[in-house]
A and B are shown apart, each in its own frame.
Chain A
Amino acid sequence: MVEKATKKKNRVFDYFCTEEKFSGGVAWCAGCPLELTARFIPKVLGDKMVFVGTPSCSAPVLHGQNLGSWHKLPYLACVMTGVGSSATGLTRYYQKAGIDATVVCFNGDGCSSDIGFQVLSGAAERNEKIIYITYDNEGYMNTGNQRSSSTQKGALTTTTPVGKIGKGKPTISKNLTMLMLMHRPRYMATATLSHLEDFAKKLQKAKEMVKEGFVYLHVFSPCPVGWRIDSNLSIEVCRTAVRTNYFPLWEAYDGKPRITVEVAAPKPITDFTKLMRKFSHLKENDIAAFQAEVDRRFALLKTLCDAAKAEEKTTVQS
């Protein structure tokens, strides 16, 4: 039986047969994809994991604030400006001392795209052997829904409120995945819970590729509380984000992107925005601008994918 199971490659089911690293009763909000994401990652990455985290939504559990719950992973909880660098310190020493370890950073978009961006960029540029995972909930959700540079234009947050003058966040979000692609990491990918098999494959590749260099994973993780989503809909929001091309699923070896989940007929962005109330104040022209931004970003990705494909062909021919 067991042998048969191992022969089937990349079956998500198999991962759930491995040991659960987190107890029940963890201090995450009901319906939050972060919990399932956190539980899933060690199932694929294995026992040699060392987590590096920072004050964020992941902190209450990873850093043991709720003393009734626990997890079995070694972890380092550092300052928000120190995730990529602390992971560097750990992995460099483990390599020097010959200790087999998979150093995994796990933090939100606020750390990755704002306060810890320089450090993330530095670690990527130095090609440190770490897996850096951003769970992107598009804002500072642990402190109660403030805007980050990953927050979408028009989104309602407590620091970009909607009022007589305020119309939500006035500027477009930082395109962090593209910025990371330009660092040309050994491997990078986007993932989300609605496409778990795709997620698992990417984690497995991450585990393999981190032996050679920097790995970046960007996980879409909507926040039911901050985005005002019904807690039973979070996975549906993930799926819709993929199907509207709002959050395309792709991967890249050495900066050459490839879409891993092709969406044949992308749905309109309204399918996405109607699932949450953070965009409910948007007018028709705002939605049109939102759609244009989604299309523009997807077109850029597509262009880069085509270019990578063409480059590969020329390399093969020559």
Chain B
Amino acid sequence: MENNLEIVSRPHARNLIEWAKDKPRVVVLSADLTSSCEVDTFRDTYPERFFSMGMAEQNMLGFAAGLAREGFFPYIHTFAVFITRRPFDQLAMSIAYPNLPVRFIGFLPGITTPGGVTHQAIDDIALMRIVPNMTVLEVGDATEVESVLDVAQKSNGPVYVRMLRGEVPRLFPKSEPLQWNHARVLSKGNDVAILSSGICTEEALRATNALAARGVSIQHLHVSTHKPFTDPQILDALDATRHGTITMENHLLTGGLGSATAELIAEHGIGKKLFRIGLRDTYAHGASRAYLMKKYQLDALSLVRAVENLTRENFGLTEEDLAQVRLTEMHSAAKAEAL
């Protein structure tokens, strides 16, 4: 598949250096995954603000708590699984209970890694959503990678960031940074509402472009704040859709975007159908991202099938049709209309 999108190499690595330049109280803690989490350049640029904690996440979180109590802003960098699973008790008791401003930068969300079940964070959003005081953010492109730190830093409590590394496409213009608790409206319509997050948004765009060409009217929102989940735009979309809503996430169906959406629908008595795309109560395994997205039905074709299911129409779209879609940078539809 070819796109007309800019591919940014290691956006976090470059952005963090620049961003932290005038923030002397920002410190980075790493648990032996320094290059893997793109903080090797931070280490080399600001060695006095970089702390190697070894493969010892429980202790790393305790140290972060102590540093935060003393006025520092610890940015913990490791794989998401090693933040949200192994040291969960430390995260809850040492950091979240006292509402300390520790930032957890978690890499390798869901099936983005061939590292297999041990390295694939398929449950991190769920685990972080249930932690009181925690803010939960997820980036979907290079622009969000470059702007999420500003949003995280505004919180006076703990923040979990589901981060992307390596070659990251720029889906959204640089001039439209990630905004706290404010979804991006990527298209407006009222047949179907689609809420997508993280890497699923790029995949969803492939389907929504093709579906729009078939005359389907879609309200497509890209969600980057999982908690709080009180963006009125989301509620409006859930309410206004004719056939129902589809959520699409690189995560288990339980506890993530789909669950949060179901809670909203139920609590507000919205009598519309919800179809959730995500991992269905299963672990994944080590393989390529493209293979896994297809195998676990997180791909564009699965979204087309979900729209067909809701609308009871058949659009005759094939994998080849979707592969032909050329994505370009997505300006916020809401903003475009406001202008």
Q: Do A and B come from one complex?
A: no
B residues contacting A by CB (< 8 A) are none
A residues contacting B by CB (< 8 A) are none
